[in-house]
Amino acid sequence: MGRWERKSGGTGGRCSERQPGVSARAPAGGCRRMAALRVLELYSGIGGMHQALKESYASAEVVAAVDVNTLANEVYKHNFPSTPLWAKTIEGITLKEFDRLSFDMILMSPPCQPFTRIGLQGDVSDPRTKSFLYILDILPRLQKLPKYLLLENVKGFESSSARNELLRTLEICGFKYQEFLLSPTCILTRFPDQDLEDLFTDKVADKVGEASSSLSSEEKYLDPNIGPDGSSKKRLPKGAFLFKLETVEEMERKHDQDNDSSIQMLKDFLEEENEEMSQYFLPPKSLLRYAFLLDIVKPTCRRSTCFTKGYGHYVEGTGSVLQTAVNVQLESVFKHIEELPEEEKLIRLSALKLRYFTPREIANLHGFPLEFGFPDKVTIKQCYRLLGNSLNVHVVAKLISVLLG
């Protein structure tokens, strides 16, 4: 993510992206912050940026939210009914229409698919990048440039041509910027979701500069052999059982994360178990087919893998599953399980009582407050898809606060 701010005597704004990002803000002696900022929210989705803006306690008003996803727009209207919502493509918005909004800040979360590591990485050649390039073309031609811009995206954006074009545009407009690669845990240690976020933050105040030196150290966490303090990680406890298709390094990393007492346990984000939870339990076919590929966590764990929009529909690589039979040891279930007949395998695996996280639980992990909800007509599968495209509200709120501070 990141932010931008215009230089003294010029026009500018700041931007933050969905995992990589950029931001900017006017330096001392530049534009003064207005009593109520006029905010334009692009790629608004279900309203993660809007929710973060509220959490930051900034004096601001979203003057327009723009998204073409009709289902996401229904959720947005459900939660922010007074905000003008434009159900149209960004390329369909003219320069005059942008000028009439007279916004002070842009919040945006462009499509991440062109930059994801597991995708085709089409970058600027991907049709889904077209709207973002249109924004970059429009920005220098605005009658009044915004003071702030925040953009959020996935890891991979930081090495893209789209990012280079973004920085070129910022320089043309007179913005300053700085880039970061962050995990939610390095800003707010009470959130176990490990989805990485790149933050490009303008270094215009001492506290921002201090943040840059501490947050950039998060890159050490990308090396499974390096601990949070920069030292080599300890080996797994004696007698630890390596099961499924994981490496020793992966097991060590998970063990270290689960023993980091600065992070809340997953149980703090879970709903109470009830009869309705039965619909979330993994079916027998999934247990047998994907048992060795599942990332299994207990309520006492302090980590989870990133939940994607395919969660609940696809099993492999879409997010962690919860072991609700907390007294059953994984070692006893998986040891020599490959030698058992299918029926006995299923008996063992069923003893774990594995279930998907509910949409409400995933929303909790993303930082959405309890009052944030979904219309009754939105299905569970649709909730998963919408949340899988969302961001961490608390991380963005923190960035907005630093940006405006």
* Element at 200 (helix H, strand E): strand 197-200
Q: Strand 296-297 relative to strand 2-6: parallel, antiparallel, unpaired? A: unpaired
Q: How far is CA 238 from CA 1, 242, 246, 297, 334, in A?
A: 40, 11, 17, 21, 18
d(CA 356, CA 177): 40
Question: In angstroms, what is the C-alpha Rg of the chain?
Answer: 22
The four Cα atoms 82, 88, 93, 97 give a dihedral, to 10 degrees, of -20
| Nearest partner of 3 among 291, 198, 252, judged by Cα | 198
339: burial class by Cβ within 10 Å (0-12, 13-18, 19+)?
exposed
| Nearest partner of 26 among 2, 39, 7, judged by Cα | 7
Question: Any idea which residues carry the catalytic annotation?
Answer: 112
d(CA 206, CA 211): 9
